[in-house]
Amino acid sequence: MACPNRNRERPRTIAFRCTDEEFETIDKRIKVTGEIKGDYLREAILNAEIHINVGKFKSDKLAIEIRNITRELQNALQLNLTDEVMELIKKNQIMFQEMYEMVTKESMELKE
């Protein structure tokens, strides 16, 4: 019997749909590496390069998310809620880091 989720090292599940052809390709890639499917997919996703498609819809979504985070930070700072500010920063740290890396990479490419 599987252990309860609360006792797992990784209690969260991610699932997605794909075509039969995509499934076969993914399955073959995993078999070639000899890795466990979960390990392979985690590694592939966590180490993949991130590309931002600069379409109107996606850039609007990003702008809204940044505005929401900014608003929450401003509210917490005005109320002197340093614990809440730190929690917001921790919660969004990965996104901030990825955005910073993309902006600096683009800046370096423009200079070259």
Is pLDDT above 90 for 34?
yes
38 pLDDT band (50/70/90 cuts)? Answer: very high
What confidence tens digit (pLDDT) does each residue in 57-104 have? Answer: 667 777 788 888 888 888 878 888 788 777 777 777 777 777 777 767
Per the domain annotation, does 6 fall within a domain? no
Shared domain for 42 and 60, answered yes or no, is no
Contact by Cβ (8 Å): 39, 47: no
Entry pTM = 0.50
Angle at alpha carbon of residue 35, lines to 32 and 41, rounded to 5°: 100
In the chain, the amino acid numbered 55 is G
Q: Does a structural domain hold residue 78?
A: yes
Tokens, residue 63: 């702008």
In the chain, the number of structural domains is 2
Range of the domain at 100: 56-111
- Judge if 24 and 62 occupy the same domain: no
